[in-house]
Amino acid sequence: MTKSLRGLIEPSRVLLDVPATCKRSVLERLADRAADSFGLPANEVHEKLQERERLGSTGVGSGIAIPHARVQVDHLQGLVMRLRQPVDFEAIDGKPVDIVFLLLAPEADNASHLKALSRVARTFRMPGVVQALRGAGDAEAAYAALVAESDQAAA
């Protein structure tokens, strides 16, 4: 498994300035987009995301959330949203979230799911990644910033 995010996301799965008013609406939008992108039932994805959030918030701090779930996909899949306005996500630092990375893993997956979560978290701790994502003018630029930084770390 590569240490880059390149295998998890693609430009069409980077969504900018998504309107949302609360954590629930973010999870609903993620589930709807996952349904469109990966051919999954939106209600099932939403329920799995809510189940995971009941265990504890996936808001990891600094305006970032990494909701994740195991669903009926063949391999790890990712989706990135930059929210139009930050929302309360019950993050560990209490700050609102404006960047959300959805990670979906196959239901039977354990090891690569955890490695991918770690990879995503490390990428968002790299200098410049979050700043570039927040300042990107379009999805291509946001995607390029995400994969360039994680590609450099993987090299």
In a domain, 5, yes or no: no
DSSP 28-69: HHHHHHHHHHH---HHHHHHHHHHHHHHS--EEETTEE--EE
At residue 32, does pLDDT exceed 50?
A: yes
Give the total number of structural domains in the chain: 1
Indicate whether 6 belongs to any domain: no
Alpha carbon distance 93, 40 (integer Å): 32
Residues with catalytic roles:
68
Which of 66, 98, 82 is CA-nearest to residue 141? 82
Predicted structure pTM score: 0.92
Is 53 domain-assigned? yes
The reported pLDDT for the residue numbered 2 is 45
- Structure token pair of residue 33: 């987009």
Element housing 151 (H / E): helix 139-154
Q: 110 lies in which domain range?
A: 11-154
pLDDT for the residue numbered 151:
53
Q: Can you tell me the mean pLDDT for 93-111? A: 93
Residue 1 falls inside a structural domain: no
Give the model's pLDDT for residue 152.
Answer: 54
Question: pLDDT tens digit string along 39-62?
Answer: 999 999 999 999 999 999 999 999
| Domain presence at residue 86 | yes
Higher pLDDT, 5 or 53: 53
Taking residue 115's Cβ as centre, other Cβ atoms within 10 Å add up to 14
Assign residue 70 the CATH number of its domain: 3.40.930.10
pLDDT in tens, 114-155: 899 999 999 999 878 999 999 999 999 999 988 886 555 544
